[in-house]
Structure 1
């Protein structure tokens, strides 16, 4: 048993050195510089921005609202009588809280069939893909975090039907996403040069 434990700890230490034993977790999810501190996350965010055209701060604001950058989060389960577990309200999962059906559409559309919802690189690319199609399908500016979030939450059909107008709580959330996006944009502007200078060190 001690030998097995030593092997496990040694393996984990090696994986940590390679960044594989634990996923990066930002120290401050409200600070874009903290979120992008990890070089792999920064590269993934840049790649998504370049591929889909949606600014980094808009993508991060959506992810912040959906998961606070937690990789394995799911919608809260309903409980009955305080102790009987019920169903979850949806099958959303991961950094982007993507639904299974929408995630499958993303994978088929991009050819990224191995994409996983609990992988940051795939999740940020998914948000870029979705916002790109929100622009293409319903004409939402890629810079408009508020409208992009409404379409992200309601779907393109729901956005066209303006279903969000009957959901006061959702409009307030969309306002929060807009404010977070503006904060991220200002923060990113201040640390962008430093983030760029740190690229490629490893």
Structure 2
């Protein structure tokens, strides 16, 4: 009986640590995916939706820096009266509640949560897949994918990003980061694959 209790406590501790895992270096893809569950989820999303891991992670980095509970900053009137947040974006992917609901209905992933990495990475995969399907944007084009992610499919089609110099600069940063992540992935892919096989 004691042995069973100890096993359950150990499993609980492992699951808890996975749920609260946060990369120590968000600029290094190898560090980000050193948690086996995260690497497995990223691979599954890439396989299902066709968007490369480095593009998905570059978008997630820009949106949340891998902070699972982040929200847009509160806006204040006169510096001390809270007037609310500019949007209801939340979680790793900073997904809007309405867009998240569309994703859930589209995929049937009814238990998906915005503050769970595996669900958030699949959301980004789903979104970028649909950006490619609706707008013809390459799944490998991190810059354009991010612009569509930020502006929405309708906004991207209308070219709303063209009048936002700050957003174009941000999308350039996402592009550069995706290229950095791609190089890093080449360096550690074999090690990540080995660790995943060892996990099973």
Q: Secondary structure at the match of 1:93?
A: coil
Q: Secondary structure at the match of 2:61?
A: helix
Q: Secondary structure at the match of 1:123?
A: helix
2:57 aligns with one of 48, 57, 60: 60
Distance in 2 between residues matched to 1:61 and 1:197, nearest whole Å = 23
1:155 aligns with 2:152: yes
What is the CA RMSD across the aligned residues, in angstroms? 1.5
Count, aligned residues: 192
Q: How big is the shift at 1:82?
A: 2.3
1:125 aligns with one of 122, 127, 133: 122
Q: Secondary structure at the match of 1:85?
A: strand
Aligned to 1:97: 94
CA contact (8 A) 2:60 2:92 kept: yes
Aligned to 1:137: 134
**TM-score, with length taken from structure 1:** 0.91
Q: How big is the shift at 1:13?
A: 7.1
1:180 aligns with 2:180: no
1:34 aligns with 2:31: yes
2:162 aligns with one of 143, 165, 169: 165
1:16 aligns with 2:43: no
Alignment gaps of 5+ in structure 1: 1-10
CA contact (8 A) 1:41 1:120 kept: yes
- Bigger drift between 41-50 and 76-85 goes to 76-85
Distance in 1 between residues matched to 2:127 and 2:94, nearest whole Å = 12
Q: How big is the shift at 1:21?
A: 7.5
Q: How does 1:56-95 map to 2 (within 5 A)?
A: 56-95=53-92
1:143-183 Cα offsets, whole Å, 9 max, x none, are 00000000000111111110000101000000000000000
Change in CA separation of 1:152 and 1:21 when aligned onto 2, cut-off 3 Å: closer
Distance in 1 between residues matched to 2:34 and 2:83, nearest whole Å = 38
Aligned to 1:49: 46
CA contact (8 A) 2:19 2:116 kept: no
Q: Secondary structure at the match of 1:89?
A: coil
**TM-score, with length taken from structure 2:** 0.92
Q: How big is the shift at 1:14?
A: 6.0
Q: How big is the shift at 1:200?
A: 3.3
